[in-house]
Structure 1
Amino acid sequence: MSPYETGLVVAGLDRVAEDVLVLTLRHPLGEPLPAWEPGAHVDLVLGPGLERQYSLCGDPADRRTWRVAVARERAGRGGSAQVHERVGPGDRVRVRGPRNHFRLEPAARYRFVAGGIGITPVLPMLAAAQEAGADWTLLYGGRTRRSMAFTGELSRYGARVTLAPEDETGPLDLAPVLADVSEGTLVYACGPGPLLDAVERRCPRGRLRLERFRPAARAPAGAAEFEVVLARSGRTVPVAPDVSVLDAVRAAGAEVLWSCAEGTCGTCETDVVEGTPDHRDSVLTDEERAAGETMLICVSRCRGKRLVLDL
């Protein structure tokens, strides 16, 4: 089934921190929006070649509006600049989703770590953890206090939240937060790559859930050619060493949704019927990679000569 996609109206546009805008989106006819859970994101289709993923950071119980926060990236690829410079109240924005590869799993204890705009998927998780009566804390860092979004909303949680602006406290000190990641504890982290790498080094295997905005550094995928069989048509498509599975199957006429082409958004996740994927993404968990039931075809390849995909 194709994901929900429609034009939504910008019902509100608020600056919540230095270089961070929050868009409140509403259906033009007042229709309810699809349900979502903490950790979900949507694609904003801002123009040709400008599809960007933003985490939903509002209240999942509010079916009337979606809320996303957009940090202006001076060295970005143009998506954030488009929002900051050209989107205004009353404008329509094409939105696709929601999708969720960062779900909040049930746990007795949570340790949340956020850096910069990485607070956005975490924000609704905190409310859910609080409502569930879980033991939780948040360590939230940023360049300066002025650059850190939602600090006013976070103040209601009191001592559970530690704000750590780098110009006041130095680099985030992960040791106290991650000193005791015991049985029953899950760590959720989102933010810049170096921060996530540091969290990953300190966490026991299986206890960490990450969401990356940029692909993780990985070894080269290898130069072997292989073939992909499109299960729905039976057609066999060769995949050359310098061509992605996504590009190869699209050139062969397969209809595939895709967005980032970097293995970070999950849009092109495809079911694997036969074969063993060589996972190169930054989305799937270790358990999902080991199962081999799906793959991100924009970056992942084949451990062998043949894959059969549900396309």
Structure 2
Amino acid sequence: MRILVTGGAGYIGSVVAARLVEAGHGVVVLDDLSTGHRDAVPEGCTFIEGGIREHAAAALATGIDAVLHFAAKSLVAESVARPDLYWGGNTGASLALLEAMRAAGVGRIVFSSTAAVYGEPESVPIREDAPVRPTNPYGASKAAIDAALAEHARMHGLGAVSLRYFNVAGAYGGRGERHTTETHLVPIVLQVAAGERGHVAVHGTDYPTADGTCVRDYIHVADLADAHLLALENCAPGAHQVFNLGNGAGFSVREVIDACREVTGRPIPHTDAARRPGDPAVLVAASDFARSRLGWAPARPGLHEIIADAWAFHTTSSAEPAAGAAPA
């Protein structure tokens, strides 16, 4: 197939694009490089620099069979401060993409959704039928896109899959996390190990968990990429399917820090800090539906392997950038 990957210069999008190339697909990457990196676009892809509103129609006109949609803003705090950026940059741009797909006759899409649509869950592990109650504009913008996909499936016969995932980490093929504003725990802890930060703050030590710190579900980025390829194969015309993706078991903040110490062999200073408002004690995915319907299961569920791959990328990425793709 010939596949358009929006946001394919970003962390997850670039890994998925690389896996698509390895699987023999033709890949066109569309990315405005506002948060992505040109050298992360895999060799063998056609690269188009620009936004969805301006360039999606032209990209789709090159004989695209399906779309994998990653392009989005994803900082929760920024979404609270500037919700307009998220309603326009996430929801508005996605609606423009869906209209361009309809005009071009492209009938399949896999969407990078998020567990943030669930807000504070009533129970864990979280199933796909849990109430959708986002607590910030980022999650709300993604939930609105999910709703639009369901309507386009009903009205226009679109085959759509939304993949809702939790904490993604690790690296694959020389591609890993390189965020200008880093908010994810694993890369932050590894920055401390590398001497790029003085310490890591542990927000909340009195949660009702085994060690008092928050518990989160971590998934290796390569396992996540595999799920996207399986979802692409399972797009059904006229249906919008939703799958949660995770390990099904959580790790606490203290467990992540300890594992990073073991993997890196370096001291990682930490300080205890107050809880952050809205942080649930435990967020863990129930991925039974993805296992039964997609035949997906994480092949790299161990926290130490996830961290080891992230650390290897962190220590080599600046010296050995990934090979880039040819421009369109």
**TM (normalized to structure 2)?**
0.30
Structure possessing the higher relative contact order (Cα contacts under 8 Å, 6 or more residues apart): 2
**TM (normalized to structure 1)?**
0.31
Structure with the higher fraction of residues in strand conformation? 1
Higher Cα radius of gyration: 1
Structure with the higher fraction of residues in helix conformation? 2
